[in-house]
Amino acid sequence: MLNNYLLSIIIFLPLIAALVVAFIPGKFKGAFKYIALGIASLQVLIAIVLLSGYDASYAGVNHLNEFQFLENVPWFDIHLSSFGHISADYIVGVDGLNMSMVLLSVVVMLIGTIASWNIKTREKGYFSLLLLLNGAILGCFLSLDFLLFYLFFEFMLLPMYFLIGLWGGVRREYASIKFFLYTLFGSIFILIAMIALNLSVVDPAATAVEAGLVQEGQVVSNEIVEQVQQSLAAGQLSRENLVHTFNMVYMTDPANYIPGSIMDYKVMKVILGQEGRLLMFLLLFIGFAIKIPVVPLHTWLPDAHVEAPTPISVILAGVLLKIGGYGLMRTAFMIIPDGVGYYGWMMGLLGVISIIYGALNALGSKDLKKMIAYSSVSHMGFVLLGLASGTTEGVSGAVYQMVSHGVISAALFLIVGVIYERGHDRIIQNYSGLINKMPRYTIFTVIFFFASLGLPGFSGFIAEIFVLLGSFNSSVVNGFLPKWMTIIAALGLIFSAAYYLWTIQRMFFGKFFTKIEVSNDELTDLNTREYVMLVPLVILALLMGVFPSFLLDMINNSIAVFTDVIGQYGDIIQQN
Amino acid sequence: MINPADLLEPLAWSQSTILCLLVLLLPLFSFIVIAILPNTQAKASAWVGMFMTLIASIISVHLLIAGWQGAGIHSRVEWFSFGHLPPFTVGVLLNDPALLMLVVVTVISFLVHLFSTAYMAGDAGYKKYFGFLGLFTFSMLGIILADNVLVIFIFWELVGLSSYLLISHWNHKESAIKAAKKAFIVNRVGDVGFIIGLAILWSQFNTLDLEALKVLMQASTIENGQWIAGAHSVSLPWLTAAGICLFLGAMGKSAQFPLQVWLPDAMEGPTPVSALIHAATMVAAGVYLMARVFPLMSIDALTFVAIIGSVTAFMGAIAALAQHDIKKVLAFSTISQLGYMLMGMGVGAYDAALFHLFTHAFFKACLFLSAGAIIHALHDYAHRADIHFDAQDMRNMGGLRKYLPFTFIAYLVSTLALIGIPFFSGYLSKDALLSGAYAWADLMSERTLSWHYLVPDLGFITVVLTALYMVRQLLLVFFGDFRIADERSIEANIKVKDVPWVMKTALSILALMSFGFIWSLNPLNHSLSWFLSALKTPTILVPGMNGNWQNNLVELAEHNHMQVTVISVFMIVIGGLVAWFIYRPKGKYAINYFSRQGASNVWQWLSFNNWYLDEIYNDFIIQPIEVLSQKLQLLDTKVIDNFIDKFAIFNIILGHLTAWVDRNIVDGLVNFSVYFVGRVGLMTKSMQGGKVQSYIALAFVGILIFIFWIIW
C-alpha cells in the first residue's frame, strides 16, 4: 500500500516537515537540526527501498507504462470552449534518467544537513528552508508533468535565495539576488517552451474520452490510443475535444502533436526566422544552460558559491547544477530530439568552451572556493559535451559525470568549509604547509583533488574518459560533433591537474605559515562530524570508480532508448 | 564482418591467472596494511613491504619458469557495459615479455625495499614511503598484466600518482613539490595524446581489448583513402594518428623529447625511488606500451617513434655531459637509453628494444642504488665530520674507490654494461638495437643517401657520448683524491664509512645481472642470446602493410651485425679516451673544472641546462597560460559579469520608466504591460528591497496573463 506512494512520500515528507518546523516554537531550536537529519535519513532509507524495487530492464523515457513507482493522478482540467481542454496531471515516476539523480540527491541532502550542524543563527528559518529545498529538488527530479516540474523548478529558487541571502558571506545579498534573477530569467525561456508544447500536444487517452470513443472511467486500450492519434493526424477530431497536456512522456511521441501546431514535426512553423521546434529547443537549452551552468551564462555561480554557507554550496554544486543537465535530457533532448542534431555542434562547442574556460579561470583564482566553483563549471562542461555527442558512451558518461561531480564537488566544498571555519579565510596564498598542522585534512584534500582531476579509481575518470570517447565517436556515429572538439576538451585535463597540484603545493605542502590572524590551536585537524561527512563520499567516489556497472546497469536501457531517439535524427541532419 | 561482441566473450580463469592476480594484489595489500598500521609501527611497514614483494617475486619467477615460451595466458571478465554496446572487459594477458617484466618489476622492487630499509632509516616519512612503494609496485604490475588499453591507461595514471607522491616525499622541500607537480603535469600532456589514441581505436572498433583489437585491425581495410572497419570509416591519416597518439603517452612516461624535462627534476625524490621508478620500471612503461600495441602501429607511426627516440637518445646524452649532480648524470643517461629503446621499437627491432629494457633495468637500477649508497655514505660523513656540502655534487667527491670498494665494483660493472663493453649485458642489447636501426635505414632508404640514416647515426654518436659521460663520472667520483675532506677531519681521522650489508646485497644482485653471460651463451653475439631467440617480434597487422617488410628487416640486421659491433666498440674507445684525457685526475682541465664557477662555453651551458627546454617552456607555454588565466579572470569578472550587471541596471531603469508610463498613460495593451511591469518590477524591487515573496505572486499573475495572451 505504502509502496504505491513512495515517490510522493519522498517528495512531501520534507515539505511537511518544513511546515512542522515552522510551527514549533523557537525555544526548541535545538530540535530543528535533528528533525532535518531524521527526514534526510528517512529519505535515504526510502531511496534504498526504491532502489531495491527498481527494475532496470524497463527503459521508461518515452513509454509511460515503463515508468516505475508511477503515480498518475489528474490535477486539473480546464475546458476552454473552442480551444479544447488544458489539463495537467500529478505524475511522478522513475526511470533510468532520474533514478540516479534521486539517489544522488538524498545522499547529498543528508551530507548537507550534517554540514549544517554548526548553524547557530535563526535555526528555525534555516532548517525549514532547507527542508523546503529538499522537497522541491526531489519533486523536480521526479515530476513527469511539465507544469509540475516547472513548479518545483521555480519553487527551488525561493529557499535557495534566502539560504544564501541570510546565512551567506559578506556580499550575500548581491549574490542571492543575482542567483535568483539569473535563474528566473532562464526559467522564462523554459516557460515559453512549456506553453508552446502544451498548445501542441494532446493527451490521447483523455482525448479519447472527450471524443466519446470510450466511456469515462474505462481503461483506454492501445488500439484506441492509436485510433485517436490517426484521427488527430487526419484532422478528424474537433478542436473542442482536444485535451492539451503537460505530460512530458506524451510530448516525446510525435503522434501526439496536433497537425499545424507550433511544435508540429511535419509542418515546421517559422517563428522569428527559426523553425518552431528548433526555437523551442533553443529556449529550453538556454533555460537549463544557466542552471548547469554553461559559459557564458555562468557568472552567477562563482558569486553564489563564494557567498553561500558551506552546506548550501554543497547542495548547490552537488545537486542543483544537475537539474540543469537532467532537465535538458528530459525536456529538450527527449521532447525535441530533432533539435539535438541541429544544435549539437553548438552545444558541444559550448561544452568545450566551458571545460577550458572554467579550468583556466580556476587556474587564475586566488580564493579556494572560487577555484572550486570554476572547476565545477569546467567539469559540468563535460556533461554538456557528452550529451551533445548523442552517442551511448557520451551520454552515459555525461550522466555518470553528473553523479560523480555531485559526490566529488560536494566533498570539495566541505573541504573548503573546513579551512574557512577554522581560519575564516579562503585565500590560497594565505596558507602554507597545512600538512604539518592538519595532516588528516590534507590527506582528504589530496584524495578529493585527485578524484576531481580525473584520477582512475575514482568516479570522475570513468565519466570523463567516456565523455571523451563518446564525443570523438560522434563524428562516426551520428556526425553531431567534429573530432577536434574532443582534442581541445582533453586539454582541460592538463589544466585541471595544474590548478589542483598548484593548490596542493601552495597551501598544503612546504613549511607551515599563515598570513592571517589565527592562533595555532584554532587550526585543528578534522573532527568526528567532518569524518562522518567525508569518509562516505570517499567510499562512494571509489566504488563508482571501480564498479561502474552499479550505476550503468541502472541507466543502460534508458540511455539506449535515449540515444536511439536522438540518433534517428542524426542521419537526417547529415543528409541535409 | 566481425562482430566485436564475439571477440569479447569472457575467458576462463586458470591457476596461473590466480597467481598473476596474487602478484598484482600483494603490493596493493602492502599499501593498505601500511596505511592502517599505527604511526608507532613504522619499522613494521618495511617488513610488510619487503615480505609482500618477496612473495610476489617468488611467484613471478615461478610463473616465468612455468610459462616461458608457453602459449601465454588470457583470462577476461566483463567489467561493465554501456547501453547496448559490446561489453567492456578487463583481464590478464600474459605473454613472454609480460612474464619477464613481472619478474623484473617485482625483483627490483624487492631489492629497492631492501636497500631502502637502510637508506631511509630514521626518516620521518618512513611508513608513508614504504606504503607508496607498495602502491607504485601494484600500479606498475597492473600496466604489465592488463589486457586492455584503457585498463593499461588506468594503471598508467596510477603509476603517475605514485610517482608524484614519492617525488614529493620530502614535502617540506619546495623543489621536491615542484618537481612532483611538474612530473605529473608533463605526463598529463602525454596522456591527452594517449586518450585521443584510445578514442580513435574506440571509435573505429568499439573495444579496447588488445587481442580483439588485433583481430579487428587485421580485418580492417583501406579503400579510397578511407580506413574502414566494419561500419565505421575514417580518413586514412587517422590510422597513423592512432599510433602516434598512443606514442604520445609513451613520450610522457618514458621522458622522450620534447617531454623529457620532468625526469631530471624527479631526482628530488629519495634515490631508491629514482632507481625503481625513474630508471628501471615506470619510465620503461612507455616502451612496454609500445610493445603491447606494436601490431597496431603503422609504418609511418613507427617512423615517428624512431625519429623521436633517436633524437632523445642524442639530446639526453649531450645533457648528461656537463652535469655536476651524480643523479642528474644518471637521469639524463636514462632519458638517452629510453630514447634508444623507443628508437628500437620505431625501427621494428621489437625484440632488441625489449632486450635493452631488461638489461637497462638492472644496470641502471644498480647505478642509481650505488649512487644512493655514495650519497648515504657522504651524508653520514658530513654528519660525523660536521661539514656541510652537497652530497650529490661530484665536484665534492673523488677517490671514493678507497672508501667504498664494494660500491665501486658494482658501479664499474654496471657502467661497463651501460656503455656497452663486450661481455656485459648492455653490449648485447645495444648491439641488437643499432643493428636493427641500421637495417631499418637500409630498408627504408633502399640504400640511397637518405635522411633515414640519421636515426642509426644519432645512435652511434650517442655511443661515443655515453662512454664519455660515464667514464667522466667514474673518474670524478671514484678516482683522484677525496676533495671535500678538510684538514680538521683528516687530523681527527674521520673517513667515509662503508655502507651497510643490506645495501651491498641489493647492489651485488643487480651488478650480477649486468654480465653478458646471464643473457647469452655467447656474450659476444646477441643473436645467440636465449632472450632474443625466444622473443618473437609480433607481426604488424595494420592494413596495407607489406608482408615482407619485417622479414627483410631481420635479415638485414643479421647481415649488419659485425659491422655494427666494430663501429660501436671503436666509438666506445674514442669516448672513453676523450673522457680520460679531459677528466683524468690531476689533469689541467679537471682541476680547472673543480674550481671554476659555472660553465665555460656555450656548449656546456646548453648541456648543463638540458638544451634550455625548461626556459623555453616556461617562456612560451607556462607564462602565457598563467597570463591568459589571469586575463580570463578579468574578462569573467570585468566584462561578462559586468555586462550582466549592466543589463540588470538597464532593467531597473526600464522598470522605472515603464512604471511611470503605466501610471500616467492609459495603454491599450493592458495585458502586455501588466506582464512586463510584473517582470521588470520584480527585478527592480527585489534588487532594492529583497522582498521576493510578494513579487513571486506578482510574477505568477504576470505569467497567467501571458498564458491568456498567448491563447487568444
**Model pLDDT, residue B535:** 82
Given a contact cutoff of 8 angstroms between Cβ atoms, the answer to whether B118 and B502 are in contact is yes
**Model pLDDT, residue A217:** 72
CA B134 to chain centroid, in Å, comes to: 18
More confident residue, B71 or A191: A191
Chain B residues with CB-CB distance to A367 below 8 A: none
More confident residue, B492 or B422: B422
Given a contact cutoff of 8 angstroms between Cβ atoms, the answer to whether A149 and A305 are in contact is no
Query: Is residue B588's pLDDT more than 60?
Result: yes
d(CA B633, CA A364): 6
B13 burial type by CB count under 10 A (0-12 exposed, 13-18 middle, 19+ buried) = middle
Taking residues A166-171, what's their average pLDDT? 88
Query: Is residue B690's pLDDT more than 70?
Result: no
**Model pLDDT, residue B450:** 85
Nearest Cα residue in chain B from A299 = B641
- Chain A segment 397-436 residues within 8 A of B by beta carbon are 433, 435-436
Calculate how close chain B gets to A58, using CA atoms only, in Å. Answer: 13
Query: Is residue B274's pLDDT more than 90?
Result: yes
Calculate how close chain A gets to B8, using CA atoms only, in Å. Answer: 17
Residues whose CB falls within 8 Å of the CB of residue B423, separated by 6 or more in sequence, listed in order: B515, B516, B517, B523, B524
Does the CB of B613 have a partner CB in chain A at under 8 Å? Answer: no
Does the CB of B77 have a partner CB in chain A at under 8 Å? Answer: no
pLDDT band per the 50, 70, 90 thresholds, residue B709 = low
Q: How far is CA A1 from CA A5, A49, A94, B325, B342, in A?
A: 8, 14, 18, 77, 68
Taking residues A158-169, what's their average pLDDT? 90
Does the CB of B138 have a partner CB in chain A at under 8 Å? Answer: no
**Model pLDDT, residue B121:** 87
Does the CB of A490 have a partner CB in chain B at under 8 Å? Answer: yes
One-letter amino acid at B430 equals K
Nearest Cα residue in chain A from B85 = A392
**Model pLDDT, residue A272:** 64
Is the CA virtual torsion A505, A511, A516, A520 positive or negative? positive
Residue of B36, B82, B617 to mutate for A, most A C-beta atoms under 10 A: B82
Query: Is residue B696's pLDDT more than 80?
Result: no
Q: Could you give the ipTM of this predicted complex?
A: 0.93
pLDDT tens digits, B331-364: 999 999 999 999 999 999 999 999 999 999 999 9
Nearest Cα residue in chain A from B230 = A476
Which of A69, A58, A245 lies closest to A148 in space, CA to CA? A245
**Model pLDDT, residue A446:** 95
Question: How many A-B residue pairs are in contact by the CB < 8 A criterion?
Answer: 174
d(CA A21, CA B297): 67
Sheet holding A243-245, edge to edge: A68-79, A85-94, A243-245
**Model pLDDT, residue A268:** 64
Query: Is residue B120's pLDDT more than 80?
Result: yes
Chain A residues with CB-CB distance to B687 below 8 A: 177, 181
Nearest CB to B629: which of A199, A363, A552? A363
Query: Is residue B676's pLDDT more than 70?
Result: no
**Model pLDDT, residue B300:** 92
Chain A residues with CB-CB distance to B167 below 8 A: none
pTM: predicted TM-score of the whole model, two decimal places? 0.92
**Model pLDDT, residue A424:** 87
Task: Please tell me whether residue A293 adopts helix, strand or coil conformation.
Answer: coil
Chain B residues with CB-CB distance to A495 below 8 A: 625
Query: Is residue A319's pLDDT more than 70?
Result: yes
Taking residues B13-26, what's their average pLDDT? 92
pLDDT tens digits, A374-406: 999 999 999 999 999 999 999 999 999 999 999
Query: Is residue B256's pLDDT more than 90?
Result: yes
Kindly report the average pLDDT of chain B as a whole number. 87
**Model pLDDT, residue B665:** 65
Decide if B181 and A173 are in contact by the 8 Å CB cutoff: no
Q: How far is CA A169 from CA A118, A308, A442, A556, B511, in A?
A: 15, 6, 25, 42, 64
d(CA B2, CA B204): 13
Residue of A171, A184, A432 to mutate for B, most B C-beta atoms under 10 A: A184
Taking residues A272-300, what's their average pLDDT? 87
Chain A residues with CB-CB distance to B637 below 8 A: 299
Does the CB of A393 have a partner CB in chain B at under 8 Å? Answer: yes
pLDDT tens digits, B412-471: 999 999 999 888 998 989 988 999 999 999 888 887 888 989 999 999 999 999 999 999
Decide if B184 and A360 are in contact by the 8 Å CB cutoff: no
Nearest Cα residue in chain A from B154 = A456
Taking residues B70-83, what's their average pLDDT? 87
Does the CB of A302 have a partner CB in chain B at under 8 Å? Answer: yes
Nearest CB to A491: which of B178, B192, B636? B192
Taking residues A130-150, what's their average pLDDT? 95
- Chain A segment 140-159 residues within 8 A of B by beta carbon are 158
- Chain B segment 451-470 residues within 8 A of A by beta carbon are none
Which of A448, A189, A407 lies closest to A315 in space, CA to CA? A407
Decide if B192 and A497 are in contact by the 8 Å CB cutoff: no
Strands (E), A381-448: 431-432
Nearest CB to A497: which of B83, B185, B710? B185
d(CA A552, CA A399): 9
Nearest Cα residue in chain B from A56 = B83
Query: Is residue A299's pLDDT more than 50?
Result: yes
Length of chain B: 712
**Model pLDDT, residue B698:** 62
d(CA A234, CA A232): 5
Taking residues B289-312, what's their average pLDDT? 94
Chain A residues with CB-CB distance to B692 below 8 A: 158, 161, 180
**Model pLDDT, residue B669:** 56
Task: Show me where the domains of chain A are located.
Answer: 337-515+546-576
Chain A residues with CB-CB distance to B226 below 8 A: none
Query: Is residue B204's pLDDT more than 80?
Result: yes
pLDDT tens digits, A526-574: 999 999 999 999 999 999 999 999 999 999 999 999 999 888 876 555 4
Taking residues B559-564, what's their average pLDDT? 84
Q: Which of B187-201, B458-472, B637-651 has the lowest mean pLDDT?
A: B637-651
Taking residues B586-612, what's their average pLDDT? 81
Decide if B84 and A556 are in contact by the 8 Å CB cutoff: yes
Residue B301 in grid coordinates: 607511426
pLDDT band per the 50, 70, 90 thresholds, residue A576 = very low
Does the CB of A166 have a partner CB in chain B at under 8 Å? Answer: no
Q: Which of A564-573, B153-162, B322-331, B411-420 has the lowest mean pLDDT?
A: A564-573
Q: Which of A353-362, A412-421, B21-30, B595-604 has the lowest mean pLDDT?
A: B595-604
Taking residues A183-200, what's their average pLDDT? 90
Which of B524, B348, B340 lies closest to B436 in space, CA to CA? B348
Decide if A361 and B683 are in contact by the 8 Å CB cutoff: no
pLDDT band per the 50, 70, 90 thresholds, residue A255 = confident
Query: Is residue B685's pLDDT more than 60?
Result: no
* For residue B456, cis peptide bond before it (omega within 30 degrees of 0): no
Calculate how close chain A gets to B555, using CA atoms only, in Å. Answer: 41
Q: Which of A282-286, A381-385, B671-675 has the lowest mean pLDDT?
A: B671-675
Chain A residues with CB-CB distance to B233 below 8 A: 476
Does the CB of B688 have a partner CB in chain A at under 8 Å? Answer: no
Query: Is residue B59's pLDDT more than 80?
Result: yes
Residues whose CB falls within 8 Å of the CB of residue B209, separated by 6 or more in sequence, listed in order: B7, B8, B76, B89, B91, B147, B148
Number of C-alpha atoms within 13 angstroms, CB side, residue A19? 5
